[in-house]
Amino acid sequence: MFNDKIQLPIFFSIAVLTIIYFFYKNPTNYQLTDKIVYVSNIFTYEEKDYKKCRVETWNNKTTWEIPRVEKLELLAKNNITSNEGLEDGELRLISAFLYENEVVVTTSRQRTSEFGTTAYCRYFDCNRVEIPGSIYKAFFFPLTSVHCLRKAGASYMSLSLAAQDELPEPIPFTHRLFDKPQYELGVCGGQIYGMDAKWMQITEFVEHHKLIGARMFYFSVFEIDGMTRMILDEYERSGFAEVSMINTEYTNAAMMRHMVQIHECFYRARNHSKWLLNIDHDEYLIPTGQSILSYIRSLGESAAELVFAIRRVAKFNESLQKYKNIQEVSNDIQMANYNLTNEAGYAAPKVMYRPDKVYATLLHWGYGMEPGFKVHAVPRDIAFLNHYRTISRNFLWSEFMAKLIRQKAKFVQETLPSDYLEKLRGNVVRVVGYVFDKHSVKCESIPWVLRFISKPYLDKLKIYCKS
C-alpha cells in the first residue's frame, strides 16, 4: 500500500510527533512510591586499568643535548629578550612544539627579573603518567619559553619551577617533525585582545597576504568576540591558520602580552614556515617591484632576515562591527577606502625572518643568527608595509597619527591598483559570505508529510520554516 518513498517521511513524522508529545506531556503531577534506589559505587578509571602505551616510531627518540645550548645560555646570561615583558605572569603553558632534537614549551609567564632561571621539563606518557626518571633541568629562554630534551615515549609535557612543585596540566605536542618546512611564507597575525569585533580586519589581512603568496597564518588570542572567532575557525578549517588560545590569569593587560605572542609565533612557525613575516593584523606587506616570493628566492639561501620600510595610513573609521549584509562588507575594504599616508621609512621597521636561522626574536626583529647568514634592507621600490592606524578612537596607538595630522605633517595620497583591490574585495566577500550570510530553513526543503503533520506543533515552538 505504501511505497518506500512514503514510508520514510511517515517514520520521521512519527518520531517527531513522539518527541513533541513527550515535550508537551512533561508531567507535573508525578506519583511517588516509597522505593529508593541506592547506588553504592561508581567505578572510576584507575591507573591499574590503563592500557600500556604504544610507542610510535616518531616518538621513539631521546636526545641528550639541547641544540645550540651554549648560544642560548650566553644570550640568557646577557639578558637578551629580558626587558620587554611584564614583571609577572603565572606559569601557564601555551604550546609544546616537538622538533627533531628538542621540545620548546611556550608559556604566558614573563618574569624579567628571574630571567634565565631554572625550569624543570616534565614528561608524561599516553596515559598522562609521568615517565619515571625523565625530569630535565632547563632554563627560561627566551623570556617566556623553555627548551627541553626529547624523551622516548612522551606524549604530553609540563613544566615546573622546582622539582617537587605542583604542575600545570600537561599539554600534547604540536608536531614540527618535517624534513623541510611546509610553507614558504607564513605570517604572524599579532595579538588578538579586546572585545571589539575584528572579523572584518582579519579577513582582509589574511586575504591580502594570501594573494601575495602567504599560505599560513599564526594568531595568538587573549580575548575574542564570537564573530572574529568564527572567522578564525574558518581559516583553521581550511588549513590557512593556526590559532593559539592563551588563557592568562588577567582580566586586562592583554596588551602587555606582546612578548608572549611574539615567542609563541616564532616557535610555532619554526620548521613549519620557511619565512615568517612578523607583523600585526593592521599591517600589510605591499610588494610593488616583484612578487615577494621571487624576491626572497633571488636573494639566495644566505638571506635570513629582511627589513621593510613602513608607511602609516590614516584609518578614519572603525571597521564593521556587526554583519548586516554583504554589500556593507564589500564597501569596507580598508585598502580601498584609505589613502592618506606618510612616506615609507625605516624607523621602527618590521621584519620577515627565517625562524630556523635566527636565535631569538626581540620586539620587532631577530637577535643573532647562524654564522654566514645575512640581513637585507628591502628597497622601498621592491616592497614596503602599510600600517593602517585607526585615528577615530582616542586610543594610545592612534595618537601618533592624530599628532602628525594636527602638526600638518606632509602627507601623500597612495592609490593602489583597482584591479588588485577588486580581486581582494571579491575574496573577502566570499569568505565573509560563507561564514555569516545565512538564511532560515526553507519550507520547501522539508518533506511535505513532515511539514503537514508537524506544522501546528512547530508553530507553537516558533521554529517553523520560512517560504
Ligand X SMILES: *[C@@H]1O[C@H](CO)[C@@H](O)[C@H](O)[C@H]1NC(C)=O
* Least distance between ligand X and beta carbon 151 (Å): 13
Q: At what angle do helices 418-436 and 226-237 cross, to 10 degrees?
A: 100
Query: Could you say whether residue 60 binds ligand X (CB under 6 A)?
Result: yes
Q: Of 3, 26, 44, 113, which one interacts with ligand X (CB under 6 A)?
A: 113
Query: Could you say whether residue 52 binds ligand X (CB under 6 A)?
Result: no
Q: Of 11, 178, 400, 434, which one interacts with ligand X (CB under 6 A)?
A: 178
Query: Could you say whether residue 270 binds ligand X (CB under 6 A)?
Result: yes
* Least distance between ligand X and beta carbon 373 (Å): 11
Is 176 in a helix, a strand, or coil? coil
By the 10 Å C-beta count (0-12 exposed, 13-18 middle, 19+ buried), 55 is classed as middle
Q: Of the ranges 172-180, 203-211, 428-436, 445-453, which one interacts with ligand X (CB under 6 A)?
A: 172-180
* Least distance between ligand X and beta carbon 205 (Å): 18
Amino acid code (one letter) for 255: M
Query: Could you say whether residue 57 binds ligand X (CB under 6 A)?
Result: yes
* Least distance between ligand X and beta carbon 20 (Å): 49
- Which C-beta is closer to ligand X: that of 152 or that of 461? 152
- Which C-beta is closer to ligand X: that of 55 or that of 171? 55
- Which C-beta is closer to ligand X: that of 198 or that of 224? 198
Task: Name, in order, each residue with C-beta under 8 angstroms of 355's C-beta and a sequence gap of 6 or more.
Answer: 266, 267, 269, 270, 271, 273, 276, 361
- Which C-beta is closer to ligand X: that of 246 or that of 432? 432
**Nearest Cα residue to 168 out of 93, 61, 234, 272:** 93
* Least distance between ligand X and beta carbon 166 (Å): 27
Query: Could you say whether residue 413 binds ligand X (CB under 6 A)?
Result: yes
Cell numbers 625572518: residue: 353
* Least distance between ligand X and beta carbon 272 (Å): 8
**Nearest Cα residue to 72 out of 178, 155, 150, 148:** 148
Residues in 313-342 at the binding interface with ligand X, rule: CB under 6 A: 316-317, 337, 339
- Which C-beta is closer to ligand X: that of 12 or that of 411? 411
| Residue 456 CA, distance from chain mean position | 46
The whole-angstrom separation of Cα 452 and Cα 19 is 16
* Least distance between ligand X and beta carbon 271 (Å): 4
Task: Name, in order, each residue with C-beta under 8 angstroms of 12's C-beta and a sequence gap of 6 or more.
Answer: 447, 449, 450
* Least distance between ligand X and beta carbon 418 (Å): 10
Q: Of the ranges 23-31, 55-63, 131-139, 157-165, which one interacts with ligand X (CB under 6 A)?
A: 55-63
The 10 Å CB-count burial string (b at 16+, else e) for 2-40 is eeeeeeebeeebeeeeeebeeeeeeeeeeeeeeeeeeee
Query: Could you say whether residue 418 binds ligand X (CB under 6 A)?
Result: no
- Tell me the three cell numbers of residue 281: 593584523
Task: Name, in order, each residue with C-beta under 8 angstroms of 324's C-beta and a sequence gap of 6 or more.
Answer: none
Q: Of 271, 273, 341, 361, which one interacts with ligand X (CB under 6 A)?
A: 271
Residues in 207-266 at the binding interface with ligand X, rule: CB under 6 A: none
- Which C-beta is closer to ligand X: that of 191 or that of 361? 361
Task: Name, in order, each residue with C-beta under 8 angstroms of 163's C-beta and a sequence gap of 6 or more.
Answer: 120, 135, 137
Size of the site for ligand X (CB under 6 A): 20
Query: Could you say whether residue 70 binds ligand X (CB under 6 A)?
Result: no
Residues in 343-372 at the binding interface with ligand X, rule: CB under 6 A: 356
The whole-angstrom separation of Cα 446 and Cα 9 is 10
- Tell me the three cell numbers of residue 91: 606559569
The whole-angstrom separation of Cα 209 and Cα 204 is 9
Q: Of 20, 55, 135, 449, which one interacts with ligand X (CB under 6 A)?
A: 55
- Which C-beta is closer to ligand X: that of 221 or that of 391? 391
* Least distance between ligand X and beta carbon 80 (Å): 9
* Least distance between ligand X and beta carbon 417 (Å): 12
CB distance 146 to 107 below 8 Å: yes
* Least distance between ligand X and beta carbon 439 (Å): 27
Is the CA virtual torsion 257, 263, 266, 270 positive or negative?
negative
Q: Of 78, 291, 321, 418, which one interacts with ligand X (CB under 6 A)?
A: 78
The whole-angstrom separation of Cα 105 and Cα 94 is 7
Q: Which residues bind ligand X (CB under 6 A)?
A: 55, 57, 60, 78-79, 99, 113, 178-181, 270-271, 316-317, 337, 339, 356, 413, 415
